[in-house]
A = this chain, B = another copy of it.
Amino acid sequence: MSQQAVYKAGIAGATGYTGYELIRLIQRHPQLEIGWLTSENSAGKRFSNVFDAPWDYPLIRLEDALSRAAEVDVVFLCLPHAASIGPVKAFVEAGVLAIDLSADFRLIDSAIYEKWYQTTHTAPELLNQFVYGLCEVYREQIRNARLIANPGCYPTSVNLGLYPLAKAGWLGERVIVDSKSGISGAGRKADLKYSFAETNENMTPYNVGMRHRHIAEMEQVLNRVNGHKPHRFVFSPHLLPVTRGILSTMYVDVPEGVTQSQIRDLYAETYANEPFIHLLPAGQMASLRHTVHSNRCAISITPVDPAQPDGTEYIIASSEDNLIKGASGQALQNFNIAVGLEETMGLL
């Protein structure tokens, strides 16, 4: 296709928050427009009846979308975990570019998938056809990919925050990640746990330690970028009373002799040309406001002991919008890379 082509997108599962966010972003993307939208619960209605938004698209069933695969150039799958596997097979056969926002194809190894998700993977043969769409790390593989697994929101914040250290071999074995996520991360559903009166003015840790599934994506990225280092992630997510945003405060050890300025240089070089990475200068800490409502990830580097600026303990903080850089924005960035458009198109 030429540069000026307008692509068409199908969105499977358009009435969750990631679907909504994709539709919102596509409104301002000059070379992408909506083909069809699916919703199992709201098929037959219009999108503007389901959301407080003016975008008046019809909603169809997924099974009807499958027969209309040829109408679109790309499908974004925003389905619940485990629900993507069947449709992905169909879109693979139809030859359409598929970007899956679920966790179904993120893990290379079906055994690891099954360990964390406690269910047998029903299409293990597809796993190695997928590229893990962490754009800043796997950009080359994403170009021309036809199957992209969009990373999870928590792992994106952790992996982008620690990738330079891990790649350089400077990340200590134990990594303590204290993450705080806005409540849209739980998805759009009726659940007392996520109701306003339960979560507002509250803060709750959950699944802390080594229990959360998203650890698998951290291991898959950070343990492999410099050989198979056995980093061990203690990961404590917390429900934060904001609608959107993830802040990860990460406690890491670096080898003796590695100085603060070496670490800053490493990050600066690694992310030198990245339009969506915002490296903060010494003395500033990443906050949610650096990134919410944008596709950016902000990263700050702080030595634990200011009296020993070249000590071996650091606090890396990273922030992102869980629905944009942690989901739909990154999916669109993957699309732009895969089809050869300007990577930032529609994402500024």
Could you tell me which A residues sit within 8 Å of B by CB distance? 17, 27-28, 52-54, 176, 178, 180, 182-184, 186, 188-192, 194-206, 208-211, 234, 236, 238, 240-245, 247, 249, 251, 278, 285-290, 292-293, 296, 298, 302-307, 313, 315, 317, 319, 348
Contact = CB atoms under 8 A, between A and B. Distances in A.
Nearest to A174: B313
Residue among A186, A208, A286 with most chain B CB within 10 A: A208
12 contacts: A54-B298, A182-B197, A189-B195, A196-B200, A196-B241, A201-B243, A204-B287, A204-B289, A208-B302, A211-B306, A234-B304, A238-B247
Given A196-B199, A200-B200, A240-B241, 19 more contacts: A52-B287, A54-B296, A183-B200, A188-B197, A190-B190, A196-B196, A196-B200, A196-B243, A201-B201, A201-B243, A201-B292, A203-B240, A203-B287, A204-B288, A205-B285, A208-B285, A208-B315, A209-B315, A236-B249
A303 B249 CA distance: 20
A251 B296 contact: no
A335 B155 CA distance: 41
Contact of A245 (B203, B238, B285): B203
A190 B201 contact: no
Identical copies in the complex: 4
A103 B293 CA distance: 29
A215 B97 CA distance: 54
Contacts of A182: 197
Given A189-B192, A202-B289, A348 B211 contact: no
A277 to B, nearest CB: 9
Nearest to A183: B196
A26 to B, nearest CB: 10
Given A192-B188, A192-B190, A209 B303 contact: yes
A184 B289 CA distance: 14
A302 B209 contact: yes
Given A54-B278, A205-B249, A243 B200 contact: yes
A55 to B, nearest CB: 10
Given A236-B315, A247-B203, A278-B54, A209 B285 contact: no
B180 A197 contact: no
